[in-house]
Structure 1
Amino acid sequence: MNTLMVIAVGEFSLGILGNTFIGLVNSMDWVKSRKIASIDLILTSLAISRFWLLCVILLDCFILVLYPDVYATGKEMRIIDFFWTLTNHLNVWFAACLSIFYFLKIANFFHPLFLWMKWRIDRMIPGILLGCVALSVFISLPVTENLNDDFRRCVKTKKKTNITLRCRVQKAGYASTKIYLNLLTLLPFSASLISFLLLILSLWRHTRKMQLNSTGCRDPSTEAHMGAMKAVISFLFLFVAYYLAFLIATSSYFLPETELAVIWGELIALIYPSSHSFILILGNKKLRQASGRLLWKVKCTLK
């Protein structure tokens, strides 16, 4: 158990480092220029949501190991479940915004709706992000309704007792709520997946056009397509692993003596918000250059 906690702290530290770096670089640039690009606003919002998601997951790990009795009372768990659901939905919706933004800015289509969105996306981004925050808060509120002290005692009891009808009803209500909320994250995930598939189509059409014109395929547009696709596909794969781990951690609360399964689920869940930030840093020119300067300063300081 101690080894798992050390791993969790390591993943948490890397994730905090990467997401804090993204937030600081973009915020400092915002202060200096007094304006912020749409892509930087999305990345900063995504980094902030993942910063708090990492904090919630690690806090849940520590409570599970050091203060397991908290799971027998509903008040603390209501707070943890609310913030985990909130930050979970925030980072998924913000990631979907990033995927859609890449698609609109890089893809080449001539459909009137696509062109209308392409021309207006920069002005729409602040409102879309605020809408994601409001929607995530609204979605997270039902988590607090079915979690009360009696239900948590029924779920985490260490003894074989007769489960009353009230406990069964509360347990069924909580299960349906969690399933419903988990399924809602498939909406932004589907939007990211559609954006990725359309980027592939756009790249294929662009590459075919370049070949017909006997022009080299590795032009700036092709490079932009490839960079955006790497960021989106890494999100898709990591989110699938995170989603499965989240389901393991959540469903394990229904059974006694499953703390180890919960921690393993949360260890896997930590990989997504921790590692994807570094993929975004490497895929963004400004962040990549800033990280290079930082590493050079650290290297000089150590020497």
Structure 2
Amino acid sequence: MSEEVNNTLIIIAAVEFSVGILGNAFIGLVNCMDWMKNRKIASVDLILTSLAISRIFLLCLIMYDSVLLMLYPGVFISSQEFRIFDFFWTLTNHVSVWFATCLSIFYFLKIANFFHPLFLWMKWRIDKMIPRILLVCLVLSVVISLPITEDRNDDFRLCFRAKGKTNLTLRCRVDKAQYVSIKVCLNLLTLFPFSVSLISFLLLILSLWRHTRQMQLSATGFRDASIEAHLGAMKAVISFLLLFLVYYLSFIVATSTELIIESDLAVMVCEFIALIYPSSHSLILILGNIKLRQAFLRVLYKVTYILKRRNV
């Protein structure tokens, strides 16, 4: 890989990483400061804070792997280090998806208008259940991630990081295929919470359609607060669905590339595409939340004011 391409990739990765870290850290900081001030935290703020923390760890892990590929492509990582990295990457990947799904379900229960007894029971109980639901999601993610820590041949690990120094034997290829299949199968489980978020989005559309129809029958010709709430929640959920889909496809391509093409450049490009998901979705959540948006505008105003004072 040429030095120009390498430098360009480093700049792109640094920008994506910085945006993601700043955005998610801002969400966590604003909610934690509000928590300390009021001595309590709203359910949606708890979900957003948990989601932001999980994505900070996910961003750090993706960036760590990208830096190794860009700056130290021939460095051999021990089997133990590889297992630790894989475990935490799988864990943060599952946790962030489950927490985003909790946010989708919360929006659905709080905003949608249905009169089914089960829906009403969940709507009344959701605020008290959120801490326990988040804890269950964390424990479930840990359990799902444990199989990736299974000990494997160091020669197989060497095949990933020292391609130019190692003869790729048939045994090596078989071990790599087994590793990739396990990794892909474990992360296929994220499609379940993804499906739950998709169902929540579709039910929000149904709720909005029913509410809009009722307004038309009552000859109301303007948007009310319920429609605005529906649209805001739908934007947050659909952005998560689309960005996660791009992220997941890039993960599939990256892991397949490691096995078939064995191109570090292709893997890095896929990882940079994957960085878009945890980075940009945090900005969408900030702009879609009134408290976070107002805090962001205050910070932006202060930064602009300080810069103008310096230029005077």
The bucket for the TM-score relative to the shorter chain is: over 0.9
Pair 1:45–1:223, CA change in 2 (3 A): same
Q: Which residue of 1 aligns with 2:24?
A: 19
1:226 aligns with 2:223: no
* 1:61–1:129 distance in 2 versus 1, CA, 3 Å: same
- Structure 2 distance, partners of 1:273, 1:26, is 18
Amino acid at match of 2:241: L
Unmatched 5+ stretches in structure 2: 1-5
Q: Number of aligned residue pairs: give it.
A: 302
Secondary structure of the structure 1 residue equivalent to 2:286: helix
Partner of 1:131: 136
Amino acid at match of 2:236: A
**Shift in Å at residue 48 of structure 1?**
0.4
Match of 1:290, SS state, is: helix
Paired residues of 2:177 and 2:259 also in contact (CA < 8 A): no
In 1, Cα distance between the equivalents of 2:118 and 2:304?
A: 50
- TM-score computed with the length of structure 2 as normaliser: 0.92
Dislocated runs of 4+, deviation >6 Å: none
Deviation per residue, 1:40-90 (Å, 9 max, x gap): 000000000111111111110111122223456323222221111111111
AA matched with 1:203: L
Match for 1:163: what amino acid? Answer: T
Deviations 1:201-221 (A, max 9, x none): 000000000100111341000
1:70-81 alignment runs, 5 A limit: 70-71=75-76, 73-81=78-86
Inter-partner Cα distance in structure 2 for 1:4 and 1:108: 47
Tell me the secondary structure at the aligned position of residue 35 of structure 1. coil
Q: Secondary structure at the match of 1:68?
A: coil
Choose which of 263, 267, 287 in structure 1 pairs with 2:292: 287
Measured in 1, the distance between the counterparts of 2:120 and 2:97 equals 25
Q: TM-score, normalised by structure 1?
A: 0.95
Q: Does 1:53 align with 2:31?
A: no
Instruction: Write out per-residue CA displacement over residues 83-140 of structure 1, whole angstroms, 9 at most, x where no aligned residue.
Output: 1111111110000000000000000001111111101000000000011111111111
Indicate how the Cα distance of structure 1 residues 276 and 127 shifts in structure 2: closer, same or farther if over 3 A, else same: same
The alignment status of 1:28 with 2:33, answered yes or no, reads yes
* Match 1:99 to one of 98, 101, 104: 104
Q: Confirm or deny: 8 A CA contact 1:71 1:77 kept in the other structure.
A: no
Give me the whole-angstrom Cα distance separating, in 2, the residues matched to 1:34 and 1:148: 51
How many Å separate the matches in 2 of 1:276 and 1:214? 37
Q: Cα deviation per residue 1:138-165 (whole Å; 9 max; x = unaligned)?
A: 1111111154412123455336846254
Identity %: 70
Matches within 5 A, 1:1-303: 1-71=6-76, 73-155=78-160, 157-158=163-164, 161=167, 163-165=169-171, 167=172, 169-255=174-260, 257-303=262-308
Contact 2:51 2:96 (C-alpha < 8 Å) held by counterparts: yes
RMSD: 1.7
